[in-house]
Each structure stands twice: as structure tokens, then as C-alpha cells.
Homo-oligomer: A and B are copies of this chain.
Amino acid sequence: MIVSLKASMKEADVAKMAKELKGFILKEGTQRLIVTSSKLKSIPASFEKWVKKSIVFDSDIQLASRKYQEETRTIYLGNGRTIGGITGNTVMIAGPCSVESKTQIKESAELLVEMGIGVLRGGCYKPRTSPYSFQGLGLEGLKLMDKMRKKHGLSIITEVKDATHVADVIEYTDIIQVGAKAMYDHGILRACGQVKKPVMIKRGFGSTLQETVQAAEFILSGGNPNVILCERGIRTFESKTRFTLDLCGVAFIKEYTNLPVILDPSHAMGFRYGIADLTRACVAMGVDGLIIEVHPKPDTALSDAAQQLNHADFKALYSTLAPVATAVGRQIV
């Protein structure tokens, strides 16, 4: 239940009520809210006098629900890019899977500048499933990304894979990416709830839509309203492609939640060949953003070599997107 409180209610009473209802206290402008479990269906009589309005929910999709806020959240990503709301923007995010070297990330950044793309991706902490694979450059990578930000004014997004480096990622990035394998990590989610930077949660490949939106609720109920979801493919019985991009799930997110949604066709497909078609499909679906893996020399990439586009192919793809966006009343930014 989401309860809006009257202005006359004292802070001490708010705290007491929240404690009794096991709820979270949130402030939205001058409005104070208490958010409790959705199992609570009515307000105890003793608190009724302070309640301005309350909304009851079927499940723990509450702050993220269109029933709470009908319009999609509007979130500023830095570098002039806004996602969601009434913008009609489909924000392009591009860059390599991993930050590998100063030269590589410099070439990536320059590509984006040349193309007028505003948000640079690049993994520094790689959630590899084998200890014997490249694990990312860590803090050194973050600093390389930071240089590109300062030099080119690019917004930076990078992935946090566990709670040990969440503070560093929060410090250095413009947008915090909660990795698909870290979607349930309360240490990360809690930390992300305590800042105001935009957070993009990647849906776990084995995670339901309900769980994914509830991961967002951890951050929203923690006090950070700037949460974006990212669909990047789920794990199914089909093994010809790396994952299965779940556009039906995207339709669900668009219908029932107020969270902007970004699509990652690169990880879903796992192979270069299908990415152009999938990206155009995502644009026509009317999503709020795209995140594409691009690498100066994909064949030598230290991770995800098979799915990263080279610069020429990415440019060719990019040039086809604007007409599709226009056809559905949106624009690529």
C-alpha cells in the first residue's frame, strides 16, 4: 500500500506509523509517503486521521506501477539526454563490452562523438562465469571511462557486479548499471537507493518480470526515483542463439510499469548477424533506449567477441534507425 500523509502529521508520528506498518518513508517534493507490503489492504483506524490518500495493490509492484504514477518516469541521463516521460526519446547507448585499454576506449568514445551519440557503455568489472577468463580492468577501467567523460562530455554507464565495488561505480559513472547476474544483490540495490543517479537494472536471464520490477522497488523504496529497466534476453531451451529477447515481457513492462525500458539486443542474440534486425524491431516496439555493443576490433575483444559490431557495421545500422523511429512517432537521441 502507498499512503500519502497529510502535511499536518508530525515527523515523529510518521516514523511511528512507518515502524508499525513495517513501511518505508519516502519524500516526493513536499509530499511524504509511507510504502508498505502490498499485503496490507487497509489502514489501521488509529492512523486514518493523517492519511490523505492510499492506494492498494495486488502485488509488490507499487512505486513502479502505473497505478501509482501513470506517466513513465522522466530521467535525466546527463549530456543533454532525457529518457522516458513525454519525450518520445529512444536513447542510444553504445560502446564495447569491456574497457580493455586506453586506446580502445578512446576509439570508442570518438566514434560516439562523431556519430552524435551521447552515452558510452563499457564494462570494468566483468561478471565472468569462469575465474580463468578476463575479469575486467576494475578501477583502472573506471578511470579510463572518466577521462572520456571529461574530455568529450559523454555520459558514462558501467556495470556493478557485486557490492564490493558499488561505491566506486556510483562515484565514477553517470548511470549505474546493475548487472543481470547482480539483479538480486541487496547490497547493490540498497546502495543505489541512497543516491539519486539513474540506475539501469538489467533483468536477470533467469528472472521473472515480477522479480525484475520488484528489484526496482528496492531502489525506489530506498529513495531513488530514477530507475530504468533493461531487457537483455532470458534463458530458454533454445540454444542456437545466446538468449531469447523477451519482447512480450517488454510489452508487459510498458503496460504495467512507469519505468523507462532499454533494450539490449547484443546480449540477447550473442551473434553479430541478427543485431541489426533486432535493433530495428526494438525501435519499432517504441522502447525508451537501446544499448549496443560496439568494438573497434571485435575479433580481438577480450569478452563477447562474437556479438560486438565493428564501427562500420554499427554506423550502417545506426543510419537505418531514424526512419523506423519516425514511423512510430519517436526519435533516436
Chain A positions near chain B (C-beta within 8 angstroms)? 22-24, 35-39, 60, 62, 125, 127, 129-133, 135, 161-165, 181-182, 184-190, 204-211, 214-215, 217-218, 221-222, 233-252, 254-255, 268-269, 273-274, 277-278, 280-286, 320, 323-324, 326-328
Kindly list chain B residues whose C-beta atoms are within 8 Å of the C-beta of A278. 247-248, 251, 285
- Of the candidates B164, B233, B283, the one whose C-beta lies within 8 Å of that of A248 is B233
Number of copies of this protein chain within its complex: 4
Cα A22 to Cα B22 with chains together (Å): 50
B282 touches A286 (CB 8 A): no
Highest count of chain B CB atoms <10 Å: which of A130, A132, A162, A282 = A132
Kindly list chain B residues whose C-beta atoms are within 8 Å of the C-beta of A206. 204-207, 235, 237
Cα A286 to Cα B248 with chains together (Å): 18
A248 touches B237 (CB 8 A): no
Given A60-B130, A206-B207, A328:B280 Cβ within 8 A: yes
- Of the candidates B236, B320, B323, the one whose C-beta lies within 8 Å of that of A236 is B236
Kindly list chain B residues whose C-beta atoms are within 8 Å of the C-beta of A274. 248, 251-252, 254-255
Chain B: minimal CB distance from A72 (Å) = 14
Instruction: List 20 additional contacts besides A161-B184, A236-B236; criterion CB under 8 Å.
Output: A60-B130, A129-B184, A130-B217, A162-B185, A163-B185, A181-B184, A182-B184, A209-B240, A234-B244, A236-B237, A237-B237, A241-B252, A243-B248, A244-B244, A248-B274, A248-B278, A255-B274, A280-B284, A324-B328, A327-B327
Kindly list chain B residues whose C-beta atoms are within 8 Å of the C-beta of A188. 162
